[in-house]
């Protein structure tokens, strides 16, 4: 891309710049519950996480474990039932109205399912411009158009070709690029990407993952990358948080998590990921664990104590009576388990 554009400015003077190692995004005791006719869905229960500036945290876990609910709660879409979410010193959970609208510029999301997250009746330029128009900070119509075109170019789309078309004319991968342009045009400091590649063919997945890496470097983004697939996050994440039925059961830097998983559920996830199980089996000498049940309990009535205990081959009495707390077992490695695996060195 050439010339002075919104994206070049952001790259040169990133709003997200801050001291390395300091937490950019802090999620503190966040709970998300949905009231339904069947009762209360406990989607996210008392989750605390932090994401250092300029790093990527992956949230992984099987379908229904609360990844999207937690990601959306970070943006206050909707506001969590309790707990707080901070970007730098701004506590988003205390803001409302125009203050929240303005703060949302700092944190943007690429939603799960790229095609349905784009309004089919609007043109690509209108879709990407929408956030600038809502924020009211995009400048004149010409300024907005220039920023939108720059964002489209940055994600590898030709504005002349793509700008006046509608989402149905694009493939899944291109729709994901449009969704990314819509988020980046606001120059966010934190980007939450919800399953950004799971709906895409493997070859297109690699292109989108490379694009996300480029964007992260270029805009010095802090990222939350949501995926049900541990093998997808291996290369992109600095840190991985494993979720099970609304709780975080293990957090570690990526290499540690793959080399020395401590929670039986993390073991299970790694052993069932075809491209990773070999690596772990090499380390351990055998496939280490199988679940005692394949059924995910209902979030309407989660198990007492450790939520994984009904499927865990290591469960004992204490697992039913006491919820294990997320505890440090090594620098940068936390696990919530009464019977964790020892670190393998
Ligand atoms: N708006 C809602 N109302 C009621 N229940 C909901 C709502 N949104 C999500 N849930 C429920 O909350 C739980 C967590 O859902 P969520 O979408 O956050 O999980 P997920 O980990 O993102 O799953 P997936 O991998 O399938 O996207 C699920 O049981 C889901 O059915
Ligand atoms: Mg989801």
Q: Which residues pair with 222 in a beta bridge?
A: 190
Nearest residue to 212 via CA among 173, 167, 163, 168: 173
Query: How far is the C-alpha of 279 from the C-alpha of 269, rounded, in Å?
Result: 13
| 61 Cα: distance to centroid of ligand 2 (angstroms) | 10
Nearest CA to ligand 1 atom 31: 64
Query: How far is the C-alpha of 211 from the C-alpha of 222, rounded, in Å?
Result: 15
Query: How far is the C-alpha of 292 from the C-alpha of 304, rounded, in Å?
Result: 17
Query: How far is the C-alpha of 163 from the C-alpha of 150, rounded, in Å?
Result: 11
Q: Does ligand 1 come within 6 angstroms of the Cβ of 67?
A: yes
| 82 Cα: distance to centroid of ligand 2 (angstroms) | 20
Q: Which atom of ligand 1 is nearest to the CA of 71?
A: 18
Q: Does ligand 1 come within 6 angstroms of the Cβ of 41?
A: yes
| 131 Cα: distance to centroid of ligand 2 (angstroms) | 23
- Strands of 56-60's sheet in order across: 107-110, 190-194, 222-227, 56-60, 239-244, 247-253, 333-335, 327-330
Query: How far is the C-alpha of 278 from the C-alpha of 274, rounded, in Å?
Result: 7
Give the chain's domains with CATH numbers.
Answer: 6-237 (3.40.50.300), 254-335 (no CATH)
Query: How far is the C-alpha of 322 from the C-alpha of 304, rounded, in Å?
Result: 8
Read off the pTM.
0.91
From first to last of its 345 residues, the chain has per-residue pLDDT tens of 333 344 444 444 344 445 556 889 999 999 999 999 999 999 999 999 999 999 999 999 999 999 999 999 999 999 999 999 999 999 999 999 999 999 989 999 999 887 888 999 999 999 999 989 888 877 888 999 999 999 999 999 999 999 999 999 999 999 999 999 999 999 999 999 999 998 888 889 999 999 999 999 998 999 999 999 888 898 899 999 999 999 999 999 999 998 889 999 998 888 877 666 555 555 554 455 677 777 789 999 999 999 999 999 999 999 999 999 999 999 999 999 999 987 554
Nearest CA to ligand 1 atom 10: 43
Nearest CA to ligand 1 atom 7: 34
| 301 Cα: distance to centroid of ligand 1 (angstroms) | 14
Q: Does ligand 1 come within 6 angstroms of the Cβ of 69?
A: yes
Q: Does ligand 1 come within 6 angstroms of the Cβ of 228?
A: yes
Q: Does ligand 1 come within 6 angstroms of the Cβ of 306?
A: no
């Amino acid at each position: 891309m050439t010339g002075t554009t919104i994206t070049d400015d952001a790259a040169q003077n990133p709003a997200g710049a801050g001291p390395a190692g300091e937490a950019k995004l802090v999620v503190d005791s966040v709970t998300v519950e949905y009231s339904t006719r069947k009762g209360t869905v406990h989607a996210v229960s008392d989750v605390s996480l932090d994401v250092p500036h300029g790093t990527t945290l992956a949230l992984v876990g099987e379908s229904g474990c609360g990844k999207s609910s937690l990601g959306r709660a970070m943006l206050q879409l909707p506001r969590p039932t309790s707990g707080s979410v901070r970007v730098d010193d701004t506590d988003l959970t205390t803001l409302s109205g125009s203050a929240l609208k303005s703060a949302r510029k700092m944190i943007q999301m690429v939603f799960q399912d790229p095609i349905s997250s784009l309004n089919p009746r609007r043109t690509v330029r209108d879709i990407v411009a929408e956030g600038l128009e809502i924020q009211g900070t995009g400048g004149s119509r010409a300024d907005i158009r220039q920023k939108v075109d720059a964002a489209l170019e940055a994600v590898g789309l030709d504005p002349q070709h793509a700008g006046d078309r509608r989402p149905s004319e694009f493939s899944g991968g291109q729709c994901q690029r449009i969704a990314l342009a819509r988020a980046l045009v606001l120059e966010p400091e934190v980007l939450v990407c919800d399953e950004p590649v799971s709906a895409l063919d493997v070859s297109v997945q690699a292109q989108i993952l490379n694009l996300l890496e480029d964007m992260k470097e270029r805009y010095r983004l802090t990222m939350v990358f949501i995926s049900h697939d541990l093998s997808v996050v291996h290369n992109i994440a600095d840190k991985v948080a494993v979720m099970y039925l609304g709780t975080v059961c293990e957090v570690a830097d990526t290499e540690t998590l793959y080399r020395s998983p401590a929670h039986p559920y993390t073991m299970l996830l790694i052993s069932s990921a075809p491209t990773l199980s070999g690596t772990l089996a090499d380390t351990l000498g055998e496939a280490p664990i199988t679940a005692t049940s394949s059924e995910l309990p209902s979030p309407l009535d989660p198990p007492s104590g450790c939520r994984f205990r009904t499927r865990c081959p290591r469960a004992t009495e204490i697992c039913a009576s006491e919820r294990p707390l997320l505890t440090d077992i090594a620098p940068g490695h936390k696990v919530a388990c009464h019977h964790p695996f020892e670190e393998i060195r």
